[in-house]
Amino acid sequence: MSFAPATQINVTRGIFLMLSAITVFTVMSAFIKAADRVPAGEAMFFRSVMAMPVILVWLVTHGGIMQGIRTQSVRNHAVRGIVGSCAMGLGFAGLKFLPLPEVTAIRFVTPIAMVVLAAIILGERFRFVRIAAVALGFIGVVIIVAPRLSVGLGSTEALGVVLTLGSACLAALAQVFVKGMAGQESTTAIVFWFSATATVLSLTTVPFGWVRPTPYELSLLVGAGLVGGLGQILLTASYKYAEAGVLAPFTYVSMLWSVLIGWIWFSEVPTAQMLIGSAFVIAAGIIIVLRERALGQDATARRKVKAKGLQ
């Protein structure tokens, strides 16, 4: 009997964890959408506060709470938390005005926007392949949102587009901050302090109107928080077994889940134009992922050659 190499087993496990994370995150979005009477700020509160018990149990079983939340820079976590919380709030608000598959498709802008923001903030080189991928993704976004904007900029559909695009761009900015924190902060600390920051910030929206959720809405909100916390853990765990470049293409499985859930739960049928635009955006994202992976391998090879030369 033959066995797969340990490295292959690890990669397979990482892919499985990533697929599981994407699945529960899509379910979380569906829960938030189903509780559409609940304001976005209130939904963000439940999403964040109900994720904390799941995260704390994870920390206890992985080295202890104090060890897991230790940080080198409270300021960095605060900035990342504020930006990420705004991204979450805008994303939840966008779900109220657009079909779930369409929101998912627009959110695929995040890795594309991240390339642009990384060049501006981190000084990363803006190579030709990246420029071409960004342009391709932009064309895809235009195809997706054109029908919504054609009905008028003052329409609820146009508002949904603006909110969701804003969420995607802010999510990209938050990821750039996380990338800048790499090597300085642990993943467990980043996960914990983001949830804590989002919980506190969500409370600032109370004066703008919260509602008393019905038992059904409350179950959806609690469920969103629990599966959201589980999704964060699954996502974090997946990167222990496989490189980001290997896992990133599997995030697009969320499109399949959102189409299926949208059709069954919300009777939302994706249009051909939305699917075509999504294909453009997904292609752009995959190009970026593959290019970044190739650049990372080249950089690793150069370091090995340099290290041998110093021996």
With 0-12 CB in 10 A as exposed, 13-18 as middle and 19+ as buried, what is 300? exposed
pLDDT of residue 50: 95
- Concatenated DSSP letters of 105-116: HHHTHHHHHHHH
pLDDT of residue 243: 72
Closest by CA position to 238, among listed 8, 5, 12: 12
Q: Is-contact 266 99, C-beta < 8 A?
A: yes
Interior CA angle at 249 toward 243 and 254, to 5°? 125
Dihedral (Cα; 172, 173, 174, 177), 10-degree rounding: 120
pLDDT of residue 293: 67
Angle at which helices 215-238 and 6-34 cross, to 10°? 160
pLDDT of residue 1: 41
d(CA 82, CA 117): 17
Element (H, E) at 299: helix 272-310
d(CA 102, CA 145): 9
With 0-12 CB in 10 A as exposed, 13-18 as middle and 19+ as buried, what is 309? exposed
In order along the chain (311 residues), what is the average pLDDT of each group of 10 residues?
52 86 94 95 96 90 81 86 94 94 89 80 73 85 84 80 93 83 77 91 93 96 94 83 73 88 92 89 81 62 54 54
Element (H, E) at 144: helix 128-150
Give how far Cα 243 sits from Cα of 5, 36, 118, 186, 254, Å.
Answer: 16, 36, 19, 17, 19
pTM comes to 0.83
pLDDT of residue 303: 55
Q: 78 is written with which tokens?
A: 């605060």
